Structure 1
Amino acid sequence: MYGYRENSFSCASIYISGLRNEVTCVNETKLLRQLKRGSTAALSEIIDLYTPYVYAIASNVMRPMLPAEDVEEAVSDCFAALWYNRDSVEPGKLKGYLAVVVRNKALSALRSKHIESALEDDIIDLAAGSPEEGILTLELRELAREAVDTLGEPDCEIFKRHYFLYQKTEDIAAALGMNGATVRTKLARGRQRLKYYLEERGYGNEA
Structure 2
Amino acid sequence: MNDEKLVRLLKHKPSKGLSTAIDIYGGLVKTIAIRIIGYENQSDVEECVSDVFVELWKSIDNYNRDKGILKNYIISIARNVSINTYRRKVVKHEVLPLEENDMEIDFDIDNEVSKSINKGIINETLNDLQQPDKDIFIRRYYLFESIKEISQSLNISTKMVENKLYRGKDKLKTALISKGIII
TM interval, short-chain normalised: 0.5 to 0.7
TM-score, normalised via structure 1 length: 0.50
Shift of the 88–124 alpha-carbon distance from structure 1 to 2, 3 Å rule, reads same
Q: Is the 8 A contact 1:124 1:163 kept in 2?
A: no
Give the letter for the 2:84 counterpart. Answer: S
**Moved beyond 6 Å, runs of 4+:** 185-188
Q: How many residues align?
A: 136
Deviation string for 1:103-143 (max 9, x for gaps)?
A: 1111112211236xxxxx967986xxxxxxxxxx9x949x5
Larger Rg: 2
TM-superposed CA distance for 1:76, in Å, is: 0.6
The answer to whether structure 1 residue 105 and structure 2 residue 63 are counterparts is no
After superposition, residues 1-207 of structure 1 pair within 5 angstroms as 27-64=2-39, 66-91=40-65, 92-114=68-90, 140=127, 145-148=131-134, 159=137, 162-163=140-141, 165-167=143-145, 172=146, 189-195=166-172
In the alignment, is the contact (CA less than 8 A) between 1:125 and 1:163 conserved in 2?
Answer: no
Does the 8 Å contact 2:133/2:168 carry over to 1? no
Distance 1:110 1:124, change over 3 A: farther
Between Structure 1 and Structure 2, which shows a larger proportion of helix residues? Answer: 2
Q: Is the 8 A contact 1:123 1:195 kept in 2?
A: no
C-alpha separation between the residues in 1 aligned to 2:121 and 2:30? 21
Q: In structure 2, how many angstroms separate the alpha carbons of the residues matched to 1:125 and 1:148?
A: 12
Alpha-carbon distance in 2 for matches of 1:73, 1:98:
16
Distance of aligned partners of 1:125 and 1:29 in 2 relative to their CA distance in 1, 3 Å threshold: farther
Superposition RMSD on alpha carbons, in Å? 4.2
> Gaps (5+ residues) in structure 2?
92-117, 150-161
User: Is the CA contact (8 Å cut-off) linking 2:37 and 2:45 kept in structure 1?
Assistant: yes
| Percent of matched pairs sharing the same residue | 30
Could you say if the C-alpha distance between residues 144 and 74 of structure 1 is closer, same or farther in structure 2, counting changes exceeding 3 Å?
farther
Can you give the 5+ residue segments of structure 1 that lack an aligned partner in the other structure?
Answer: 1-22, 116-120, 127-136, 150-155, 176-184, 200-204
Letter in 2 for 1:80: V
TM-score by length of 2: 0.56
